[in-house]
Amino acid sequence: MVEYIQGTLVEKEEGEAVVEIKGWGIHLSIPLSTHLRLPSPGEKCRLWTHLHLGDKGPSLYGFTTKDEKRLFRILIAIPRLGPKTALAVVSHFTLGDLWRAVEERDLEKLKKVPGIGEKTAERLLVELKGKVPQKGGEVQGPWEPTILSALSNLGYTLKEIKRALREAQVTPQMGEEEMIRRCLRVLGGSVG
């Protein structure tokens, strides 16, 4: 419905922000990661949005990246996991870090999120297992936008980056830095 909003940031506090668009003050619930990336009040900003229709009425959630929004939507699709808990998870994890915790079955890491106990952490592991999409041999993980951005900022083309991702044999268990190092080795002519 509303993919994103763009306007002037009026105020931001932990967990919420107000953006003015043509005289309208739009209130959004936001994760901590978005709060930290937002500019100072009075400056322009864009937030990717999700409109949630709950029992207490509609709520608008805002994110500075599409990955945060994607993660939020994946989480709220889990039965009995509400938007408040999903927002806490998004505040705590990047998409890649959450996938790593799920792949490694790291309950302790998940339980560090406020509002997540043993049972919810176990449910997250079960519900999120295998959700990293794979397409035609190409890596299509949640980390890909970060790697594409980092390598394109170094001057590599999309075609070169896709080839490097295939040849570097990156896996979901690797950290993003390791993935980038492996891709750079491929792009530099050697895989180590």
CATH fold label, 4-63:
OB fold (Dihydrolipoamide Acetyltransferase, E2P) (2.40.50)
Handedness of CA 42, 44, 46, 50 (dihedral sign): positive
Average of per-residue pLDDT across 123-136:
66
User: Which superfamily, per CATH, for 67-128?
Assistant: 5' to 3' exonuclease, C-terminal subdomain (1.10.150.20)
Instruction: Round to whole Å and give the CA distance between 29 and 17.
Output: 7
Extract the tokens encoding 134.
């794979």
Q: Domain extents for the chain?
A: 4-63, 67-128, 134-187
Q: Which residues of 80-110 are buried (b: 16+ CB within 10 A; e: fewer)?
A: ebebebbbbbbbbbbbbbbbbbbbeebeebb
- pTM (predicted TM-score): 0.66
Q: Over the stretch 8-64, which tens digit does the pLDDT of each residue have?
A: 999 999 899 999 999 999 999 999 888 888 999 999 999 999 998 888 888 999 999
Q: Over the stretch 134-176, which tens digit does the pLDDT of each residue have?
A: 333 344 455 566 677 778 778 888 778 878 877 887 766 677 7
Q: Over the stretch 48-104, which tens digit does the pLDDT of each residue have?
A: 999 988 888 889 999 998 888 988 988 888 888 889 999 999 988 877 778 888 888
Beta bridge partners of 61: 29, 50
Residue in this structure with the two tokens 């509609």, named with its chain if needed: 58
pLDDT at residue 1 above 80?
A: no
| φ and ψ of 84, to 5 deg | -65, -45
What's the confidence (pLDDT) of residue 130? 67
